[in-house]
């Protein structure tokens, strides 16, 4: 598969290393990196040279490339800006899943993808248990879902905290509006289950925590479910759990398989 990449941060550079340098997924290769900002030219050019792919500075050129999939690992704003045009040309993997909290945008993206025979892949990111939530929801056997995220205080606030503080309590769509770099998991959970207006979220800034801990509780006709994941942070971005990038590799790994385990 020829892959196009948007985002050269902790996830983007990890993918370049694993896929192009280490060839962890022999059937996949990142063939182009895209960034139209003038200020990014030197970095994108250097990365393209290092990882033997092409640096592309115009969206039109990027979309004309022979790409089977474009991976967005940048920001919600980037996802909002480019996704709808991307799915008119090729498949899209979104990691800034929070963009889909805007239901008008999400419906339009789905419509454009469908009309053009493309898929939108949403990895499980920094959480697990979406298989359970999806299975419970498919026949309406899911009544409540709550996510409690505990992150190092400095990932969530500029203020110095001496003790832990609940910085958000409410629904998932408000969580992502307030914490666009920390609550993508809340929207992934919403999409798997009850939607962003019915998924409860609590975010705790913890001055002692060094890991990103997500606790999911759900119940309904299926039974009760609880899972806690204690994520190591990415080496280059403490806000982002390392598992997020691994979950993208996992989607790529499954994409061409004949026997696929649901996740
Ligand atoms: N779904 C999930 O479970 C999770 C999702 N995420 C989300 O994944 C995304 C990527 O995370 P991560 O790699 O850690 O973030 P980083 O901040 O490390 O990297 C983001 C990259 O996007 C680049 N970028 C910003 N604007 C543009 C633009 N207009 N065009 C092209 N590139 C751009 C940035 O470049 P520059 O620095 O030069 O501006 C940077 O290289 C984020 O949105 C994050 O919130 C994170 C964790 C979990
Ligand atoms: O990486 C994490 O632990 C969660 C995160 O930032 C997000 O969902 O945006």
Domain assignment of residue 95, yes or no = yes
Give the closest ligand to the alpha carbon of residue 95. Answer: 1
Q: For residues 142 and 216, what is the distance between their CA atoms, to the nearest angstrom?
A: 13
Give the distance (Å) from ligand 2 centre to CA of residue 151.
9
pTM: 0.98
pLDDT score at 110: 98
Domain assignment of residue 263, yes or no = no
User: In whole angstroms, how large is the CA radius of gyration of the chain?
Assistant: 18
Torsion of CA 121, 127, 128, 131, to 10 degrees: -40
Quick one: 41 and 94 in the same domain? yes
Q: What is the mean pLDDT of residues 99-125?
A: 98
Q: What is the mean pLDDT of residues 39-44?
A: 98
Domain assignment of residue 155, yes or no = yes
CATH number of domain containing 205: 3.30.360.10
For 62, the 3-state DSSP assignment is: helix
Domain assignment of residue 262, yes or no = no
User: 231: annotated binding-site residue?
Assistant: no
Reported as a single tens digit per residue, the pLDDT across 176-207 is: 999 999 999 999 999 999 999 999 999 999 99
CB atoms within 10 A of CB 179: 22
118 lines ligand 2 (CB under 6 A): no
| pLDDT > 80? residue 263 | no
Quick one: 18 and 48 in the same domain? yes
Reported as a single tens digit per residue, the pLDDT across 121-178 is: 999 999 999 999 999 999 999 999 999 999 999 999 999 999 999 999 999 999 999 9
184 lines ligand 1 (CB under 6 A): yes
Q: What are phi and psi of 91, to 5 degrees?
A: -75, 155
Question: What is the domain count for the chain?
Answer: 2
Last residue of a domain, one of 122, 146, 162: 122
253: annotated active-site residue:
no
Domain assignment of residue 41, yes or no = yes
pLDDT score at 256: 84
Q: For residues 214 and 30, what is the distance between their CA atoms, to the nearest angstrom?
A: 31
Query: Measuring CA to CA, how many Å separate 211 from each of 59, 73, 155?
Result: 36, 21, 10
Of 200, 229, 215, 212, the residue nearest 154 (C-alpha): 212
Residue owning the nearest CA to atom 5 of ligand 2: 182
Q: For residues 35 and 59, what is the distance between their CA atoms, to the nearest angstrom?
A: 8
200 lines ligand 2 (CB under 6 A): no
249 lines ligand 1 (CB under 6 A): no
Quick one: 136 and 211 in the same domain? yes
Atom of ligand 2 nearest to the CA of 180: 9
β-pair type (144-152, 199-206): parallel
Give the closest ligand to the alpha carbon of residue 35. Answer: 1
Domain assignment of residue 17, yes or no = yes
Atom of ligand 2 nearest to the CA of 184: 8
Q: What are phi and psi of 52, to 5 degrees?
A: 50, 60
Domain that holds residue 104: 2-122
Quick one: 82 and 191 in the same domain? no
Q: Does ipTM exceed 0.90?
A: yes
Per-position DSSP letters for 70-123, written without gaps between them: EEE-S-HHHHHHHHHHHTTTSEEEES-GGGGGSHHHHHHHHHHHHHTT--EE--
Quick one: 156 and 216 in the same domain? yes
User: 113: annotated binding-site residue?
Assistant: no
Quick one: 68 and 104 in the same domain? yes
The catalytic position among 28, 89, 214, 253 is 214
Domain assignment of residue 71, yes or no = yes
Of 150, 246, 157, the residue nearest 201 (C-alpha): 150
Give the distance (Å) from ligand 1 centre to CA of residue 203.
20
pLDDT score at 262: 77
40 lines ligand 1 (CB under 6 A): yes
Quick one: 18 and 110 in the same domain? yes
Q: 169 with 201: CB under 8 angstroms?
A: yes
């Amino acid at each position: 598969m020829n892959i196009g990449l948007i985002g050269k941060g902790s996830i983007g550079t990890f993918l370049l290393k694993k896929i192009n340098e280490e060839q962890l997924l022999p059937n996949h290769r990142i063939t182009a990196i895209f960034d139209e900002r003038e200020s990014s030219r030197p970095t994108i050019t250097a990365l393209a040279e290092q990882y033997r792919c092409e640096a592309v500075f115009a969206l039109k050129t990027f979309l004309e490339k022979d790409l089977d999939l474009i991976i967005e690992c940048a920001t919600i704003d980037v996802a909002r800006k480019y996704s709808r045009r991307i799915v008119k040309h090729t498949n899209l993997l979104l990691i800034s899943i929070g963009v889909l909290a805007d239901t008008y945008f999400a419906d339009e993206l789905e419509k454009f993808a469908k009309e053009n025979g493309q898929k939108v892949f949403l990895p499980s990111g920094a959480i697990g248990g979406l298989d359970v939530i999806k299975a419970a929801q498919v026949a309406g056997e899911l009544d409540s879902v709550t996510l409690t995220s505990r992150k190092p205080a400095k990932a969530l606030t500029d203020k110095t905290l001496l003790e832990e503080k609940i910085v958000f309590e409410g629904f998932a769509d408000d969580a992502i509006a307030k914490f666009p770099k920390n609550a993508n998991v809340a929207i992934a959970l919403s999409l798997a289950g009850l939607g962003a207006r019915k998924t409860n979220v609590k975010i705790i800034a913890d001055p002692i925590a060094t890991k990103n801990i997500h606790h999911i509780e759900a119940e309904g006709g299926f039974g009760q479910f609880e899972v806690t994941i204690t994520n190591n942070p990415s080496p280059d971005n403490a806000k982002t759990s390392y598992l997020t990038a691994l979950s993208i590799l996992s989607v790529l790994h499954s994409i061409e398989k004949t026997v696929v385990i649901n996740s």
